[in-house]
Amino acid sequence: MTLDKLAKGVTTQILAFSNNDPLSTKLREIGFAEGDEVELLARGPLGGWPISVRLNRTVIALRKEEAALIEIDPRP
| pLDDT digits 0-9 by tens, 31-61 | 999 999 999 999 999 889 999 999 989 999 9
Q: What is the CATH code of the structural domain delimited by 3-72?
A: 2.30.30.90
Say what percent of the chain tops pLDDT 70. 99
- Strand extents, DSSP E, 1-76: 11-17, 37-44, 48-55, 58-62, 70-72
Q: How far apart are CA 14 and CA 3, in angstroms?
A: 8
| pLDDT digits 0-9 by tens, 26-37 | 999 999 999 999
Q: Residue ranges of the domains in the chain?
A: 3-72
Which band of pLDDT confidence, cut at 50, 70 and 90, is reported for residue 75?
confident
For the chain, give the mean pLDDT. 93
Q: What pLDDT score was predicted for residue 76?
A: 64
